[in-house]
């Protein structure tokens, strides 16, 4: 069954051995990006915890930033409309340039989080879809004494010999819109040696998104049957 996912957040953390705070290398990268005429981030800011590149918010709750902390890079695109391809390019480009400036040799781990929304095809309310379509609850909930207003599940896929990374999947009814299903995949990946190239940095983001589109959506589609009148 075809769904049109509406991705609301891309997050990516790249962990590295701790470094002494130094905003100057980040500023040099920021200046070069401005000189190129098409900088991915407009603002440069230094806080006690991090050096931050960011864009002004264009809607309530939106965030477009990358923070360089002493032990990690944190990329955030939330409610900005960024595509998977755009986020991958942003992460790879900034990571490559900052690694050169800061002489980072290894990332000890990468954590990617993708959040998206879909609407069930045959259910008006996502709570009903999960309650009756997926979980097949009938009278069992009466034992709880109260009627839940949010339904969901959490599935953990640890690393295996065939697949080295881990996925933690959340599927829930969406509190802000009862028609929508909220899907989150948080993926963790192992060490990456910078000298060997940073292609995996982008590929890991793509894998995290592809798991939702290629695996989770067909899984949910199994339960999205037309309701009897």
Encode the chain (229 residues) as per-residue pLDDT tens digits.
789 999 999 999 999 999 998 999 999 999 999 998 889 999 999 999 999 999 998 889 999 999 999 999 999 999 999 999 999 999 999 999 999 999 999 999 999 999 999 999 999 999 999 999 999 998 899 999 999 999 999 999 999 988 899 999 999 999 999 999 999 999 999 999 999 999 999 999 999 999 999 999 999 999 998 766 5
Q: What is the longest distance spanned by two Cα atoms in the chain?
A: 66
145: left (phi over 0), alpha (psi -120 to 50) or beta: left
Domain of residue 76, residue span: 6-221
In a domain, 164, yes or no: yes
Kindly give the residue spans of alpha helices, DSSP state H, lying in the chain.
Answer: 23-35, 84-102, 126-128, 199-211, 217-221
In a domain, 108, yes or no: yes
In a domain, 1, yes or no: no
In a domain, 11, yes or no: yes
Q: Domains in the chain: how many in total? A: 1
Of 118, 136, 114, nearest to 186 by C-alpha is 114
Looking up tokens 């769904």 gives 3
Of 10, 39, 37, nearest to 27 by C-alpha is 39
pLDDT at 228: 62
Three-class DSSP labels, 49-74: CCEEEECCCCCCCCEEEEEECCCEEE
pTM assigned to the model: 0.95
CA atoms within 13 A on the CB side of 156: 2
Q: Which structure tokens are listed for 12?
A: 């990516």
């Amino acid at each position: 069954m075809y769904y049109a996912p509406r991705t609301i957040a891309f997050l990516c953390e790249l962990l590295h051995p701790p470094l002494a705070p130094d905003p100057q290398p980040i500023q040099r990268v920021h200046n070069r990006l401005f000189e190129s005429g098409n900088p991915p981030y407009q603002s440069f800011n230094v806080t006690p915890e991090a050096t931050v590149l960011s864009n002004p918010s264009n809607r309530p709750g939106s965030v477009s930033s990358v923070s360089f902390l002493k032990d990690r890079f944190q990329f955030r695109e939330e409610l900005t409309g960024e595509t998977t391809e755009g986020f991958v390019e942003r992460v790879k480009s900034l990571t490559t340039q900052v690694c050169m400036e800061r002489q980072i040799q290894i990332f000890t781990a990468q954590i990617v989080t993708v959040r998206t929304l879909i609407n069930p095809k045959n259910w008006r309310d996502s709570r009903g879809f999960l309650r009756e379509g997926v979980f097949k609850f009938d009278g069992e909930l009466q034992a709880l004494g109260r009627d839940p207003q949010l339904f969901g599940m959490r599935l953990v896929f640890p690393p295996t010999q065939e697949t080295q990374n881990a996925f933690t999947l959340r599927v829930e009814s969406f509190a802000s819109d009862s028609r929508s299903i909220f899907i989150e995949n948080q993926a963790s990946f192992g060490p990456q040696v910078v000298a060997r190239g940073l292609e995996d940095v982008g590929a890991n983001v793509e894998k995290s998104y592809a798991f939702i589109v290629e695996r989770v959506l067909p899984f949910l589609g199994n339960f999205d049957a037309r309701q009897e009148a």
